[in-house]
Structure 1
Amino acid sequence: MIQTTSLKQKAIQFFHILFPILVTQIALSAITFFDTNMSGKFGTADLAGVAIGTSLWIPIQTGLSGILMGITPIVSQLIGSKKEKDVAYQVTQGIWLSLIVSVIVLLIGSFALSPILNFMNLEPTVRDVAFRFLSAISFGIIPLFGYTVLRSCIDALGQTRVSMLITLIALPVNVGLNYLLIFGKFGFPRLGGVGAGVASAITYWVIFSVALLFIYRAEPFASLRIFRKFYFISLKSFKDLMKIGVPIGFSIFFETAVFSAVTLLMSRFDTVTIAAHQAAINFATTLYMIPLSICMSLTILVGFETGSGRQKDARQYAIMGIGLAAILSLATALLLFFAGYHVAGLYSDEPDVISLIQHFLIYAIFFQISDAIATPTQGALRGYKDVNPAFIICFIAYWVIGLPTGYVLATYTDLGAYGYWIGLITGLAIGAALLLTRLVKVQRRYATQADAQAHH
Structure 2
Amino acid sequence: MNQTFNRTSKVRQLFHLLIPILITQLGLYAMTFFDIMMSGQYHTVDVAGVSIGSSLWTPVYMGLGGVILALTPVVSQLVGSKRTNSVPFSVIQALYLSVAIALSVLTVGTFTVNPILNMMDLEANVHQIAHDYLVALSFGIIPLFIYDTLRAFIDALGKTRVSMLITLGALPINILLNYMLIYGKLGLPELGGVGSGYATAVTYWIIAIVAIIVVIRIHPFAVYNVFQKFYRISWKEWSSFLKIGIPIGLAVFFETSIFSAVTLLMSEYDTVTIASHQIAINFASLLYMIPLSISMALTIVIGFEVGAKRLKDAREYSLIGITMALSMALLCATVLFFFREAVASIYTQDQTVITLTTHFLLYAMFFQISDALQAPIQGILRGYKDVTMTFFMSLLSYWILGLPIGYTLANFFDMGPDGYWIGLIVGLAIGAIGLATRLRFIQRTNVLQKTS
TM-score under structure 1 length normalisation = 0.99
Q: Distance in 1 between matches of 2:11 and 2:450?
A: 24
Please say if 1:52 is aligned against 2:52. Answer: yes
Q: Distance in 2 between matches of 1:264 and 1:197?
A: 23
Mapping of residues 343-422 of structure 1, within 5 Å: 343-422=343-422
Q: Distance in 1 between matches of 2:328 and 2:106?
A: 40
Q: Specify the code of the residue in structure 1 equivalent to 2:315.
A: R
Q: Distance in 2 between matches of 1:273 and 1:186?
A: 41
Q: Distance in 2 between matches of 1:86 and 1:191?
A: 47
Question: 4+ residue stretches of structure 1 with deviation over 4 A?
Answer: none
Alignment partner, residue 73 of structure 1: 73
Deviation at 1:149?
A: 0.6
Q: Distance in 2 between matches of 1:164 and 1:436?
A: 30
Deviation at 1:252?
A: 0.3
Mapping of residues 302-313 of structure 1, within 5 Å: 302-313=302-313
Q: Render the CA deviation track for 1:246-292: whole Å, top value 9, x for unaligned.
A: 10000000000001111111111111111000000000000000000
Alignment partner, residue 84 of structure 1: 84
Alignment partner, residue 207 of structure 2: 207
Deviation at 1:411?
A: 1.1
Partner of 1:346, secondary structure, is helix
Alignment partner, residue 61 of structure 2: 61
Q: Render the CA deviation track for 1:8-44: whole Å, top value 9, x for unaligned.
A: 1111111001110000001110111100100000111
Deviation at 1:51?
A: 0.6
Q: Distance in 1 between matches of 2:359 and 2:13?
A: 39
Q: Distance in 2 between matches of 1:26 and 1:108?
A: 29
Mapping of residues 284-303 of structure 1, within 5 Å: 284-303=284-303
Q: Distance in 2 between matches of 1:389 and 1:12?
A: 30
How many positions carry a matched residue from both structures? 452
Deviation at 1:204?
A: 0.4
Mapping of residues 188-227 of structure 1, within 5 Å: 188-227=188-227
Q: Specify the code of the residue in structure 1 equivalent to 2:358.
A: Q
Partner of 2:228, secondary structure, is coil
Deviation at 1:367?
A: 1.1
Mapping of residues 46-445 of structure 1, within 5 Å: 46-445=46-445
Q: Distance in 1 between matches of 2:316 and 2:445?
A: 16
Q: Specify the code of the residue in structure 2 equivalent to 1:265.
A: L
Q: Specify the code of the residue in structure 2 equivalent to 1:441.
A: F
What's the RMSD between the two structures over aligned residues?
Answer: 0.6
Q: Distance in 2 between matches of 1:186 and 1:316?
A: 55
Q: Distance in 2 between matches of 1:5 and 1:449?
A: 23
Q: Distance in 2 between matches of 1:188 and 1:413?
A: 55
Q: Specify the code of the residue in structure 1 equivalent to 2:375.
A: T
Partner of 1:227, secondary structure, is coil
Q: Specify the code of the residue in structure 1 equivalent to 2:41.
A: K
Q: Distance in 2 between matches of 1:192 and 1:403?
A: 36
Q: Render the CA deviation track for 1:310-361: whole Å, top value 9, x for unaligned.
A: 0000000011001100011000111111111101110110111000100000
Partner of 2:186, secondary structure, is coil
Deviation at 1:170?
A: 1.2
Q: Distance in 1 between matches of 2:414 and 2:395?
A: 27
Q: Distance in 1 between matches of 2:415 and 2:352?
A: 18
Deviation at 1:414?
A: 2.5
Q: Distance in 2 between matches of 1:29 and 1:110?
A: 26
Please say if 1:23 is aligned against 2:23. Answer: yes
Partner of 2:167, secondary structure, is helix
Deviation at 1:187?
A: 1.6
Question: Please, which runs of 5 or more residues in structure 1 have no aligned partner?
Answer: none
Please say if 1:40 is aligned against 2:40. Answer: yes
Partner of 1:228, secondary structure, is coil
Partner of 1:229, secondary structure, is coil
Deviation at 1:156?
A: 0.2
Q: Distance in 2 between matches of 1:390 and 1:104?
A: 25
Q: Render the CA deviation track for 1:186-232: whole Å, top value 9, x for unaligned.
A: 22111011001000100000000000000000000000010101101
Deviation at 1:185?
A: 1.3
Q: Distance in 2 between matches of 1:377 and 1:152?
A: 19
Q: State the identity %.
A: 55
Partner of 2:407, secondary structure, is helix
Q: Render the CA deviation track for 1:100-126: whole Å, top value 9, x for unaligned.
A: 111111011111111111111000000
Question: Please, which runs of 5 or more residues in structure 2 have no aligned partner?
Answer: none
Q: Distance in 2 between matches of 1:267 and 1:307?
A: 48
Deviation at 1:413?
A: 2.0
Q: Distance in 1 between matches of 2:250 and 2:6?
A: 36
Q: Distance in 1 between matches of 2:413 and 2:350?
A: 28
Deviation at 1:451?
A: 1.4
Deviation at 1:152?
A: 0.2
Deviation at 1:169?
A: 1.0
Q: Specify the code of the residue in structure 1 equivalent to 2:228.
A: R
Q: Distance in 2 between matches of 1:143 and 1:186?
A: 26
